Structure 1
């Protein structure tokens, strides 16, 4: 069985997917990009602003599922430019403390809505 997670505190899905799914006490989030859920608009193309919004979106989904980003098991981070890697670490450190989750950070050619960052997560529940 799987449970669909949906919150208006994170951007609504813009395709044929759910914000997140819970299965066997693990929350699987869809990729989050820096859309402000209050306005539905993409944040300006400044990496630090966009990274903060992505973590806020993930945090809202985790909270809706009854967990937190601190319980993250794995993050998959997609960046338009790996030069933003140091800032990614700085921003992530504001939302998740040690012990840190496993993580991949990959430079990609393009992201939805020309976002500078997208992150999906696996987060333990309980």
Structure 2
């Protein structure tokens, strides 16, 4: 998101941007994706589940965190995907 607007582009590009944003937030907190213990993914259309799964999986590694995918009617600003993560810092 730049200046209150979502990234325009393919679903994959949008998910990559979400993951890059989350990576920056995690790094600012002194952790990384390996510290993530739970991910919640909200989608407005389950037909994009495969794309979400593929891109999300490219950033995560074994042992994978718990994950849930929730299909909702709509997301803020017309987003197709929203991802939240819980990470533990030792």
Same fold (TM over 0.5): yes
What is the RMSD of the two structures over their aligned residues, measured on CA atoms? 1.3
What's the TM-score, normalizing by structure 1? 0.67
Match of 1:83 in 2: 47
Mapped partners of 1:44, 1:74: distance in 2:
27
Match of 1:94 in 2: 58
1:55 counterpart (19, 25, 38): 19
- 2:10 equivalent to 1:46: yes
Show structure 1 runs of 5+ residues with no match. 1-34
Show structure 2 runs of 5+ residues with no match. none
Secondary structure of 2:39's aligned partner = strand
Specify which structure has the higher proportion of helix.
2
Secondary structure of 1:43's aligned partner = coil
Match of 1:124 in 2: 88
Mapped partners of 1:90, 1:65: distance in 2:
26
How many corresponding residue pairs? 90
What's the TM-score, normalizing by structure 2? 0.91
Larger Rg over CA atoms? 1
Runs of 4+ in 1 over 6 A off after TM superposition: none
Mapped partners of 1:45, 1:94: distance in 2:
19
